[in-house]
Structure 1
Amino acid sequence: MFFLQPLFDQIEARFGEVINHFYLIELIFYSLDRTILYFIIWISLRMMYLFFVKKADIKENLFSKHEWVLNIFVFYVLLLVHLTVFREQTSILNVSIHRRSLSEINWHPLVHTIKLTHGTSLFSYYYNFYGNILWFIPMGFGAAYLLKERYSFLKALGIGFSVSILIETMQFLFDTGISDIDDVLFNTAGTIIGILLFSVLDRIIKRRKRKTLSHE
């Protein structure tokens, strides 16, 4: 790890043998560390684009509300990809495409998820079901916000669905995870929740603005 190794070492020494499923904390640290690295690269490229291509005021644009949301969204997507595809010691620099049979994909909806409810622990079920939904709520919200005037429910949903399919495809090609139709279903559900949250918040803000203007 480039940035978080000292902090991780302290947490591992103190809680490594105490916390169940500590491997998830390790996964989060590795993913965060790489995300920070790639996010620094993104910010550098973004600043060059704003300065040299758009000829824009860096200070004014880089700290605008839209730019903040865009950068948070990029950080979130980078983290999501590293949590789901480039796990542990794998990265975009050392993965390779594996020839695998399509029969290795779980094509039957909810079959694998239901099996998880019959295990000795429900942790895997909760992580698979709620985790896949929760991780994609920011996807729906961020996509809806960034589309701005071009926003529509189907466009925002299409972005979340496409990202989910892309993640499952990379997991299959790089052999870094189990490609499952359930993941796509739950990710899509999370995207829908995020879009609905954006729609509700957007209506509340617009209603307040109208009330403010009517009182002036």
Structure 2
Amino acid sequence: MLTITPFAVVATVLYLILAIGFGFKKKVSIWRQVLSLLFFAYLLVVVDITLFPIPYTHNGGDIQANNLIPFKTIMAILKDGSLSNDFSNIGGNVLLFAPFGFLIPLLFRKQNSYIKILLLGFLGTLCVESSQFMISAILGFTYRSFDVDDLICNTVGTLIGYAILRVCRYLGQKRMWVKLSPILAVVVVGGILGYEYTSHSTPERAQESMDSNVLPLVTVPLSKGVVLVTPTDPKTTTKAGYEAWYFEKSGLLGWRLKATSIDELNHSVSSLTANEQTFIWGVTGNSNAESVLYRTKGKFYKSSVNAQGIWDIVLPFTQNISSGGSLSLVLHNGKTDTLAFQTNKNNEN
């Protein structure tokens, strides 16, 4: 998994060299240098959100589909009927390019009309979407989809940012920045909150923001959220195996991690609990395994075993799995073996 870190380090070093060189040679004002730095930082944020992390291989999940039909994705999101989902997907794309329309006219005085900003915003987001398409072509699978609706939302966001700037200028040239400061503060805070929410707008993005070196192999609905099962990352833990992440949606803060558990490939059964439900899971280590049965309180709960050997069972109640039931492994030949694995406890946040 390639993160933005090496790219950001190289880009920052080059920017500082050029900024310092031009600053002394052209005697650029401090205000203009600050604006340039803000714009550079903003571009890094856009690149991070839209292009990174870049996986080296496909994780086996569903491949994203490109969309060339205007408003198809937008209408599908609106039909979902979720205001928070509308904000994260549509509003997030609009807000992402609002600073672009706000900062460009301040840095480049000739770019000071709705038509010019419209064209620049469209070209900027087209560059982003085309980069996603080209990187996907190089990888051999669609890691980020090319969506014409993203072009629409981003371009609208650029126009909104420019409109905000025009309103600020309309307030008057004298002491403009005094009048502008509350609005600018709102834009900055809104941008930070928007970025924070966008980075946690889905469980997958929230997990990526915490560990971008692994991707989910299994996604399971649980209680008020979902569980993502990923390989453990040797860069962040010495425990080799798999990890389950339980995320819940926290209003405008997006999806947040609530509990985790790790299977260390020692034929253990792991679990975590959330809101009176219990998530039991593990890795069989047996290529002949077909399914797993859990028997408790006179009832059976069944799970199939996927290609990685991962299985999971959701119990609609809180259960101490080490003493409250029994596990059986069903093989492809129909035979059944009893599972008597050591239990790993979950870590709740």
TM-score by length of 2: 0.41
Q: Is the partner of 2:105 in helix, strand or coil?
A: helix
Aligned residue number for residue 109 of structure 1:
70
1:50 and 2:23 aligned:
yes
Measured in 2, the distance between the counterparts of 1:124 and 1:150 equals: 34
Aligned-residue offset at 1:179? 0.7
Aligned-residue offset at 1:120? 9.2
1:31 touches 1:83 (CA, 8 Å); kept in 2? Answer: no
**Percentage of matched positions with identical amino acids:** 25
- The structure whose residues are more often helix, as a share, is 1
- Which 5+ residue runs of structure 1 have no aligned equivalent? 1-29, 95-103, 210-216
Aligned-residue offset at 1:67? 1.7
Aligned-residue offset at 1:150? 4.8
Aligned residue number for residue 131 of structure 1:
92
Q: Which one-letter code corresponds to 2:87 in the other structure?
A: Y
- The aligned runs of 1:165-176 (5 Å cut-off) are 165-175=126-136, 176=143
Aligned-residue offset at 1:69? 0.9
Aligned-residue offset at 1:40? 3.9
Q: Which one-letter code corresponds to 2:109 in the other structure?
A: K
1:136 touches 1:194 (CA, 8 Å); kept in 2? Answer: yes
Q: Which one-letter code corresponds to 1:135 in the other structure?
A: L
- Which 5+ residue runs of structure 2 have no aligned equivalent? 57-64, 137-142, 177-349
Q: Which one-letter code corresponds to 2:41 in the other structure?
A: F
1:88 and 2:61 aligned:
no
CA deviation digits over 1:130-182, x for unaligned, max 9?
10001111010011222225522222222111110000000001014111010
1:144 touches 1:153 (CA, 8 Å); kept in 2? Answer: no
2:104 touches 2:111 (CA, 8 Å); kept in 1? Answer: no
Tell me which of the two structures has the higher relative contact order, counting C-alpha pairs closer than 8 angstroms and 6 or more residues apart.
Answer: 1
Measured in 1, the distance between the counterparts of 2:168 and 2:71 equals: 32
1:32 touches 1:79 (CA, 8 Å); kept in 2? Answer: no
Structure number with bigger Rg: 2
1:110 touches 1:182 (CA, 8 Å); kept in 2? Answer: yes
Q: How many residues align?
A: 162
Aligned residue number for residue 67 of structure 1:
33
- The aligned runs of 1:123-162 (5 Å cut-off) are 124-162=85-123
Assess, with a 3 A threshold, how the Cα gap between structure 1 residues 89 and 117 changes in structure 2: closer, same or farther.
same
Q: Which one-letter code corresponds to 1:193 in the other structure?
A: I
Q: Which one-letter code corresponds to 1:148 in the other structure?
A: R
Measured in 1, the distance between the counterparts of 2:9 and 2:171 equals: 34
